[in-house]
Structure 1
Amino acid sequence: MAQLPLADLAQRLLRKPAHALDPEERRVLDSIDSGTIVSRDAADEADARSSLGDRLADRVAAVGGSWGFIIAFTVVLLGWMLLNTDVLAHFGMAFDPYPYIFLNLMLSTLAAIQAPVIMMSQNRQAAKDRLAASLDYETNLRAELDILRLHEKLDGIVLDRLAALEAKIDALAKSVPTA
Protein backbone atom coordinates (compact mmCIF):
# COMPACT_ATOMS: atom_id res chain seq x y z
CA MET A 1 0.00 0.00 0.00
CA ALA A 2 1.37 3.39 -0.90
CA GLN A 3 1.90 5.61 2.07
CA LEU A 4 -0.93 8.09 2.50
CA PRO A 5 -0.78 11.35 4.42
CA LEU A 6 -2.22 11.20 7.92
CA ALA A 7 -5.21 13.32 6.93
CA ASP A 8 -6.16 10.87 4.15
CA LEU A 9 -5.81 7.87 6.47
CA ALA A 10 -7.88 9.60 9.15
CA GLN A 11 -10.65 10.44 6.74
CA ARG A 12 -10.66 7.08 4.94
CA LEU A 13 -10.31 4.77 7.95
CA LEU A 14 -11.84 6.70 10.85
CA ARG A 15 -14.07 9.11 8.94
CA LYS A 16 -12.59 11.99 10.97
CA PRO A 17 -10.50 14.99 10.05
CA ALA A 18 -6.88 14.76 11.25
CA HIS A 19 -7.30 17.64 13.74
CA ALA A 20 -10.08 15.72 15.55
CA LEU A 21 -7.98 12.64 16.27
CA ASP A 22 -7.23 11.49 19.81
CA PRO A 23 -3.56 10.92 20.64
CA GLU A 24 -4.14 7.14 20.56
CA GLU A 25 -5.79 7.34 17.14
CA ARG A 26 -2.95 9.50 15.83
CA ARG A 27 -0.35 6.98 17.08
CA VAL A 28 -2.27 4.11 15.44
CA LEU A 29 -2.53 5.93 12.10
CA ASP A 30 1.16 6.89 12.29
CA SER A 31 2.03 3.23 12.89
CA ILE A 32 -0.14 2.16 9.95
CA ASP A 33 1.51 4.78 7.76
CA SER A 34 5.01 3.73 8.79
CA GLY A 35 4.21 0.00 8.88
CA THR A 36 5.30 -0.44 12.50
CA ILE A 37 3.59 -2.23 15.38
CA VAL A 38 1.58 -0.37 17.96
CA SER A 39 1.30 -2.88 20.82
CA ARG A 40 3.37 -2.24 23.93
CA ASP A 41 3.55 -3.80 27.40
CA ALA A 42 1.72 -1.61 29.91
CA ALA A 43 3.88 -2.81 32.81
CA ASP A 44 7.07 -1.91 30.96
CA GLU A 45 5.68 1.50 30.01
CA ALA A 46 4.58 2.21 33.60
CA ASP A 47 7.95 1.11 35.00
CA ALA A 48 9.78 3.34 32.55
CA ARG A 49 7.69 6.32 33.65
CA SER A 50 7.95 5.62 37.41
CA SER A 51 10.08 7.65 39.77
CA LEU A 52 12.04 6.43 42.78
CA GLY A 53 9.19 7.59 45.05
CA ASP A 54 6.67 5.61 42.99
CA ARG A 55 8.72 2.44 43.23
CA LEU A 56 9.26 2.97 46.97
CA ALA A 57 5.52 3.46 47.52
CA ASP A 58 4.85 0.22 45.65
CA ARG A 59 7.35 -1.67 47.81
CA VAL A 60 5.93 -0.26 51.07
CA ALA A 61 2.40 -1.16 49.95
CA ALA A 62 3.52 -4.65 48.93
CA VAL A 63 5.19 -5.27 52.29
CA GLY A 64 2.56 -3.50 54.42
CA GLY A 65 -0.28 -5.35 52.75
CA SER A 66 1.12 -8.85 53.14
CA TRP A 67 0.39 -11.65 55.59
CA GLY A 68 4.07 -11.78 56.44
CA PHE A 69 3.92 -8.17 57.66
CA ILE A 70 0.73 -8.78 59.65
CA ILE A 71 2.17 -11.87 61.36
CA ALA A 72 5.54 -10.24 62.07
CA PHE A 73 3.87 -7.08 63.35
CA THR A 74 1.60 -9.14 65.63
CA VAL A 75 4.62 -10.98 67.04
CA VAL A 76 6.41 -7.65 67.68
CA LEU A 77 3.35 -6.18 69.41
CA LEU A 78 2.84 -9.25 71.60
CA GLY A 79 6.57 -9.28 72.41
CA TRP A 80 6.48 -5.58 73.32
CA MET A 81 3.51 -6.09 75.63
CA LEU A 82 4.94 -9.24 77.20
CA LEU A 83 8.33 -7.59 77.72
CA ASN A 84 6.85 -4.46 79.34
CA THR A 85 4.16 -6.24 81.36
CA ASP A 86 5.96 -9.28 82.76
CA VAL A 87 9.68 -9.44 82.09
CA LEU A 88 10.91 -5.86 82.61
CA ALA A 89 8.14 -4.99 85.08
CA HIS A 90 9.39 -7.84 87.29
CA PHE A 91 12.74 -6.03 87.60
CA GLY A 92 11.12 -2.58 87.78
CA MET A 93 12.63 -1.57 84.40
CA ALA A 94 9.53 -1.45 82.16
CA PHE A 95 10.01 1.51 79.79
CA ASP A 96 6.40 1.43 78.51
CA PRO A 97 4.10 -0.12 81.13
CA TYR A 98 0.42 -0.75 80.60
CA PRO A 99 -1.50 1.12 78.93
CA TYR A 100 1.48 1.23 76.52
CA ILE A 101 1.37 4.94 75.68
CA PHE A 102 4.69 4.86 73.79
CA LEU A 103 3.50 1.83 71.77
CA ASN A 104 0.30 3.72 70.88
CA LEU A 105 2.37 6.71 69.76
CA MET A 106 4.53 4.50 67.54
CA LEU A 107 1.49 2.73 66.06
CA SER A 108 -0.21 6.06 65.34
CA THR A 109 2.96 7.37 63.69
CA LEU A 110 3.29 4.23 61.59
CA ALA A 111 -0.35 4.47 60.50
CA ALA A 112 0.03 8.19 59.70
CA ILE A 113 2.99 7.45 57.44
CA GLN A 114 1.84 4.15 55.98
CA ALA A 115 -1.66 5.26 54.91
CA PRO A 116 -0.58 8.04 52.50
CA VAL A 117 2.17 5.82 51.08
CA ILE A 118 -0.37 3.07 50.37
CA MET A 119 -2.68 5.67 48.81
CA MET A 120 0.20 6.81 46.56
CA SER A 121 0.70 3.21 45.49
CA GLN A 122 -3.02 2.84 44.77
CA ASN A 123 -2.97 6.04 42.70
CA ARG A 124 -0.01 4.66 40.78
CA GLN A 125 -1.87 1.39 40.21
CA ALA A 126 -4.86 3.36 38.92
CA ALA A 127 -2.52 5.22 36.54
CA LYS A 128 -1.11 1.86 35.39
CA ASP A 129 -4.65 0.64 34.76
CA ARG A 130 -5.46 3.76 32.72
CA LEU A 131 -2.26 3.28 30.71
CA ALA A 132 -3.09 -0.38 30.11
CA ALA A 133 -6.58 0.58 28.93
CA SER A 134 -5.13 3.18 26.57
CA LEU A 135 -2.61 0.71 25.14
CA ASP A 136 -5.34 -1.91 24.77
CA TYR A 137 -7.47 0.62 22.91
CA GLU A 138 -4.61 1.40 20.53
CA THR A 139 -4.01 -2.29 19.85
CA ASN A 140 -7.72 -2.98 19.33
CA LEU A 141 -8.10 0.05 17.06
CA ARG A 142 -5.09 -1.03 15.01
CA ALA A 143 -6.50 -4.56 14.66
CA GLU A 144 -9.91 -3.20 13.66
CA LEU A 145 -8.41 -0.84 11.08
CA ASP A 146 -6.18 -3.59 9.68
CA ILE A 147 -9.23 -5.84 9.30
CA LEU A 148 -11.07 -2.99 7.58
CA ARG A 149 -8.12 -2.49 5.20
CA LEU A 150 -8.07 -6.23 4.43
CA HIS A 151 -11.79 -6.10 3.63
CA GLU A 152 -11.13 -3.20 1.25
CA LYS A 153 -8.36 -5.15 -0.47
CA LEU A 154 -10.52 -8.26 -0.78
CA ASP A 155 -13.41 -6.20 -2.12
CA GLY A 156 -11.04 -4.68 -4.69
CA ILE A 157 -9.81 -8.12 -5.75
CA VAL A 158 -13.38 -9.42 -6.06
CA LEU A 159 -14.42 -6.38 -8.12
CA ASP A 160 -11.39 -6.81 -10.40
CA ARG A 161 -12.21 -10.48 -10.94
CA LEU A 162 -15.86 -9.70 -11.62
CA ALA A 163 -14.82 -7.08 -14.17
CA ALA A 164 -12.47 -9.60 -15.81
CA LEU A 165 -15.26 -12.20 -15.92
CA GLU A 166 -17.66 -9.68 -17.41
CA ALA A 167 -15.08 -8.83 -20.07
CA LYS A 168 -14.64 -12.53 -20.88
CA ILE A 169 -18.41 -13.04 -21.04
CA ASP A 170 -18.73 -10.02 -23.33
CA ALA A 171 -15.90 -11.35 -25.52
CA LEU A 172 -17.52 -14.78 -25.67
CA ALA A 173 -20.91 -13.28 -26.46
CA LYS A 174 -19.39 -11.30 -29.33
CA SER A 175 -17.55 -14.33 -30.69
CA VAL A 176 -20.61 -16.58 -30.78
CA PRO A 177 -22.18 -16.48 -34.23
CA THR A 178 -25.75 -15.38 -34.34
CA ALA A 179 -28.18 -17.51 -36.29
Structure 2
Amino acid sequence: MMGLGFALGAAAVLGLLWLKGRFAGFMAQRPDDYAQDVRQIDIRRDLNGPLICEGVIYGPLGRVVSRFTGDFDVSWQGNRGVMTEHFKYESGGEQHRRWELTLGNDGTIRASAPDLVGEGTGAQRGGSVCLRYRIRLPEDSGGHVLDTTDWMYLTPNGTIVNRSQFCKYGLKVAELVATMRKVEAV
Protein backbone atom coordinates (compact mmCIF):
# COMPACT_ATOMS: atom_id res chain seq x y z
CA MET A 1 0.00 0.00 0.00
CA MET A 2 2.90 2.35 0.78
CA GLY A 3 4.23 1.86 -2.78
CA LEU A 4 0.92 2.94 -4.26
CA GLY A 5 0.84 6.05 -2.06
CA PHE A 6 4.37 6.96 -3.13
CA ALA A 7 3.53 6.45 -6.79
CA LEU A 8 0.40 8.60 -6.52
CA GLY A 9 2.34 11.30 -4.67
CA ALA A 10 5.11 11.28 -7.28
CA ALA A 11 2.52 11.45 -10.07
CA ALA A 12 0.82 14.40 -8.36
CA VAL A 13 4.13 16.27 -7.97
CA LEU A 14 5.04 15.66 -11.62
CA GLY A 15 1.58 16.79 -12.68
CA LEU A 16 1.88 20.00 -10.65
CA LEU A 17 5.32 20.69 -12.11
CA TRP A 18 3.94 20.19 -15.61
CA LEU A 19 1.01 22.51 -14.90
CA LYS A 20 3.34 25.18 -13.48
CA GLY A 21 5.55 25.01 -16.55
CA ARG A 22 2.60 25.06 -18.94
CA PHE A 23 0.61 27.84 -17.32
CA ALA A 24 3.09 29.93 -15.29
CA GLY A 25 6.54 29.52 -16.84
CA PHE A 26 8.51 30.26 -19.97
CA MET A 27 6.37 27.97 -22.11
CA ALA A 28 3.16 29.70 -20.97
CA GLN A 29 4.00 32.94 -22.80
CA ARG A 30 1.90 33.80 -25.84
CA PRO A 31 2.67 36.40 -28.54
CA ASP A 32 -0.44 38.39 -27.60
CA ASP A 33 1.04 38.90 -24.10
CA TYR A 34 3.33 41.47 -25.76
CA ALA A 35 0.94 43.04 -28.28
CA GLN A 36 0.74 46.33 -26.32
CA ASP A 37 4.53 46.85 -26.05
CA VAL A 38 5.55 50.43 -26.83
CA ARG A 39 8.32 49.32 -29.15
CA GLN A 40 7.09 47.11 -31.98
CA ILE A 41 9.43 44.57 -33.56
CA ASP A 42 9.47 44.06 -37.32
CA ILE A 43 11.79 41.20 -38.24
CA ARG A 44 12.25 42.70 -41.73
CA ARG A 45 13.83 45.74 -40.04
CA ASP A 46 15.29 44.35 -36.82
CA LEU A 47 16.61 41.05 -38.23
CA ASN A 48 18.14 42.50 -41.38
CA GLY A 49 21.66 42.86 -42.71
CA PRO A 50 24.77 41.66 -40.89
CA LEU A 51 24.27 40.75 -37.21
CA ILE A 52 26.56 39.53 -34.45
CA CYS A 53 25.25 36.94 -32.01
CA GLU A 54 26.78 36.06 -28.63
CA GLY A 55 25.44 33.50 -26.23
CA VAL A 56 25.58 30.52 -23.94
CA ILE A 57 23.88 27.14 -23.82
CA TYR A 58 22.81 25.64 -20.50
CA GLY A 59 22.50 21.90 -20.01
CA PRO A 60 19.66 20.10 -18.23
CA LEU A 61 21.11 20.87 -14.79
CA GLY A 62 21.26 24.63 -15.44
CA ARG A 63 25.04 24.87 -15.87
CA VAL A 64 26.69 26.48 -18.89
CA VAL A 65 27.82 23.72 -21.25
CA SER A 66 28.78 25.84 -24.27
CA ARG A 67 29.61 29.42 -25.25
CA PHE A 68 29.43 30.75 -28.80
CA THR A 69 29.49 33.69 -31.17
CA GLY A 70 27.72 33.88 -34.49
CA ASP A 71 27.86 35.93 -37.64
CA PHE A 72 24.45 36.26 -39.26
CA ASP A 73 23.43 37.80 -42.55
CA VAL A 74 19.75 38.41 -43.23
CA SER A 75 18.14 39.73 -46.41
CA TRP A 76 14.49 40.31 -47.25
CA GLN A 77 12.52 40.50 -50.49
CA GLY A 78 9.15 41.75 -49.34
CA ASN A 79 7.87 39.27 -46.75
CA ARG A 80 10.36 36.51 -47.64
CA GLY A 81 13.72 36.41 -45.92
CA VAL A 82 16.88 34.34 -45.86
CA MET A 83 19.05 34.24 -42.74
CA THR A 84 22.45 32.56 -42.85
CA GLU A 85 24.15 31.79 -39.54
CA HIS A 86 27.78 30.86 -38.90
CA PHE A 87 28.42 29.82 -35.29
CA LYS A 88 31.83 29.44 -33.65
CA TYR A 89 31.85 27.52 -30.38
CA GLU A 90 34.36 27.88 -27.58
CA SER A 91 35.24 24.20 -28.12
CA GLY A 92 36.50 25.04 -31.61
CA GLY A 93 33.48 23.60 -33.40
CA GLU A 94 31.59 25.50 -36.08
CA GLN A 95 28.05 25.26 -37.40
CA HIS A 96 26.25 26.73 -40.40
CA ARG A 97 22.50 27.10 -40.85
CA ARG A 98 20.34 28.72 -43.52
CA TRP A 99 16.82 29.73 -42.55
CA GLU A 100 14.08 30.61 -45.01
CA LEU A 101 11.49 32.87 -43.38
CA THR A 102 8.06 34.00 -44.50
CA LEU A 103 6.25 36.78 -42.66
CA GLY A 104 2.48 36.87 -43.07
CA ASN A 105 0.62 40.19 -43.20
CA ASP A 106 -0.93 39.24 -39.83
CA GLY A 107 2.50 38.82 -38.19
CA THR A 108 2.60 35.03 -38.44
CA ILE A 109 5.96 33.48 -39.31
CA ARG A 110 6.84 30.29 -41.15
CA ALA A 111 10.42 29.05 -41.05
CA SER A 112 12.41 26.24 -42.61
CA ALA A 113 16.01 25.08 -42.35
CA PRO A 114 17.76 21.84 -43.34
CA ASP A 115 17.97 20.56 -39.74
CA LEU A 116 14.31 21.25 -38.94
CA VAL A 117 11.80 18.40 -38.90
CA GLY A 118 8.84 19.94 -40.66
CA GLU A 119 8.22 23.67 -40.63
CA GLY A 120 8.62 26.15 -37.79
CA THR A 121 5.71 28.43 -36.96
CA GLY A 122 5.36 31.53 -34.87
CA ALA A 123 4.38 35.17 -34.73
CA GLN A 124 5.71 38.64 -34.09
CA ARG A 125 3.66 40.80 -31.72
CA GLY A 126 4.62 43.97 -29.93
CA GLY A 127 8.28 43.83 -29.03
CA SER A 128 8.61 40.05 -29.29
CA VAL A 129 8.84 37.10 -31.65
CA CYS A 130 7.96 33.52 -30.81
CA LEU A 131 9.00 30.62 -33.03
CA ARG A 132 8.35 26.93 -32.35
CA TYR A 133 9.97 24.11 -34.29
CA ARG A 134 11.50 20.64 -34.08
CA ILE A 135 15.25 20.51 -34.67
CA ARG A 136 17.42 17.48 -35.37
CA LEU A 137 20.80 17.66 -33.65
CA PRO A 138 23.90 16.66 -35.60
CA GLU A 139 24.88 12.99 -35.31
CA ASP A 140 27.97 13.89 -33.25
CA SER A 141 25.55 15.41 -30.71
CA GLY A 142 23.33 12.33 -30.66
CA GLY A 143 21.01 13.07 -33.61
CA HIS A 144 18.08 13.66 -31.23
CA VAL A 145 15.01 15.59 -32.36
CA LEU A 146 14.16 18.35 -29.87
CA ASP A 147 11.03 20.48 -29.53
CA THR A 148 12.25 24.06 -29.53
CA THR A 149 10.63 27.30 -28.42
CA ASP A 150 12.46 30.53 -29.30
CA TRP A 151 11.47 33.86 -27.82
CA MET A 152 13.14 37.04 -29.05
CA TYR A 153 12.65 40.35 -27.28
CA LEU A 154 13.55 43.74 -28.76
CA THR A 155 15.42 46.04 -26.36
CA PRO A 156 15.27 49.87 -26.48
CA ASN A 157 18.65 50.10 -28.25
CA GLY A 158 17.65 47.62 -30.98
CA THR A 159 19.49 44.59 -29.57
CA ILE A 160 17.45 41.40 -29.61
CA VAL A 161 17.65 39.07 -26.61
CA ASN A 162 16.93 35.46 -27.57
CA ARG A 163 15.91 32.79 -25.07
CA SER A 164 15.28 29.27 -26.34
CA GLN A 165 14.30 26.08 -24.60
CA PHE A 166 14.86 22.62 -26.03
CA CYS A 167 12.70 19.72 -24.81
CA LYS A 168 12.62 15.98 -25.33
CA TYR A 169 9.54 14.03 -24.19
CA GLY A 170 8.28 17.26 -22.58
CA LEU A 171 11.37 17.66 -20.38
CA LYS A 172 13.74 20.60 -20.78
CA VAL A 173 17.16 19.31 -21.83
CA ALA A 174 18.86 22.59 -22.74
CA GLU A 175 18.37 26.34 -22.80
CA LEU A 176 20.05 29.02 -24.90
CA VAL A 177 20.38 32.71 -24.08
CA ALA A 178 21.90 35.01 -26.68
CA THR A 179 21.95 38.57 -27.95
CA MET A 180 21.73 39.63 -31.58
CA ARG A 181 22.74 43.09 -32.67
CA LYS A 182 23.49 44.87 -35.89
CA VAL A 183 27.11 45.07 -36.95
CA GLU A 184 28.30 48.67 -36.62
CA ALA A 185 29.20 50.30 -39.94
CA VAL A 186 32.88 51.17 -40.17
Q: Please confirm whether the aligned pair reaches a TM-score higher than 0.5, indicating the same fold.
A: no
Q: Which of the five TM-score ranges fits, normalised by the shorter chain?
A: under 0.3
Higher fraction of strand:
2
The TM-score normalised by the length of structure 2 is 0.20
Higher fraction of helix:
1
The TM-score normalised by the length of structure 1 is 0.21
The structure having more radius of gyration, on CA atoms, is 1
